[in-house]
Structure 1
Amino acid sequence: MMKQLILSIIFANFMFASTLRIDDKIGNFSLTDQFDKIHTISSNVSTIIVTFQKETLMMVNEYLSSKSENFLEEHHAIFINNISSSPTIITKMFTLPKLRDYKYTILLIYDESNTKFEKQNNKITTYSLENGFIKNINFISSVDELERVLK
């Protein structure tokens, strides 16, 4: 049992060790959502949206709140929010309850060592994929740019 735990920790660290680049295959990985439900991301995803700051999260929310509840699924997209920089008590008391009010699924990154996704300050990172391979990475800073990515 202990051996399996150690191997799974090593595998998880290896899986998140390298940053995704153009032409990389994303592979399958799992994250929990704001309701602690585990989601496995696979090659059927065509767009990954990642935010790292509250401001960029709010931009994505502004856009998605005007869409249907199934908008992300219909567009084969997932939304990931990295909350690793938030103190645990703040996350549990304020962040998660707020995220649970949103009508769409937000996958969460809790681990600071997860550097799988590229980051630029005050930008939303989007990955465009084909058959599980990254074809384009964009750093966007407005709702209009996000809308163009999700057409």
Structure 2
Amino acid sequence: MKYGVMLLLSVLCLGAQATEIGERLAPWTLLDQFDQPYSLDQQTSTLLVARGMDAAKLVKAALEDRPKGYLEARHTVFVADIQRMPTLIAKMFAVPAMRDYSYRVLLDREGRVAPRYPGAENKVLWLQLNQGQLVAQREYATAAELREALEQLQP
């Protein structure tokens, strides 16, 4: 019994480790605010992750006045961790409001994806990818910094 518990804990710890530079990200699929699926693929070069509402607001401010398709042209996807948002609030207010955004928001409703990439809840996590492999990782605390970084990406 003792060995079984130790084995279970070691497996759980492996799953909770942060993604390291050089690692290949495991594939996943999430629905966006229009219930359209998106699967992480080899063409994605930047993954933005907002683990909290403050971080999601940073993304919104950074993308203000940007045309539709701005992120897609830069092979960038945005994942919003909304697992702690009450389902009724998400369904009745938050997700319908997101449908007015000029960018796609991949909604992690069950916390299956965002927890793989640990970061501060009030910052936007930026994962730079090359053919699905993590090559750099940063965090942004202001919309201006995030906007400047996005502008550096080639469309």
TM-score interval (norm. to shorter): 0.7 to 0.9
**Matches of 1:28 and 1:105, distance apart in 2:** 18
**Matches of 2:108 and 2:20, distance apart in 1:** 19
Q: TM-score, normalising length from structure 2?
A: 0.80
**Matches of 2:122 and 2:44, distance apart in 1:** 24
**Matches of 1:48 and 1:110, distance apart in 2:** 17
Structure 2 unaligned runs (5+)? 1-11
- Please identify the structure whose Cα radius of gyration is greater: 2
User: Aligned residue for 1:49?
Assistant: 48
**Matches of 1:105 and 1:139, distance apart in 2:** 20
**Matches of 1:79 and 1:31, distance apart in 2:** 11
Correspondence 1:98-109 to 2 at 5 A: 98-109=97-108
**Matches of 1:100 and 1:51, distance apart in 2:** 17
Partner amino acid, structure 1, of 2:72: E
Partner amino acid, structure 2, of 1:87: P
Identity %: 26
C-alpha change, 1:93 and 1:26, in structure 2 (3 Å) is same
Partner-residue secondary structure (3-state), 1:49: strand
1:125 correspondence with 2:153: no
Structure 1 unaligned runs (5+)? 1-13
Correspondence 1:15-26 to 2 at 5 A: 17-18=15-16, 19-26=18-25
Correspondence 1:1-151 to 2 at 5 A: 17-18=15-16, 19-112=18-111, 114=113, 115-150=115-150, 151=152
Q: Matched residue pairs, number?
A: 136
C-alpha change, 1:113 and 1:70, in structure 2 (3 Å) is closer
Q: TM-score, normalising length from structure 1?
A: 0.82
Partner amino acid, structure 2, of 1:106: V
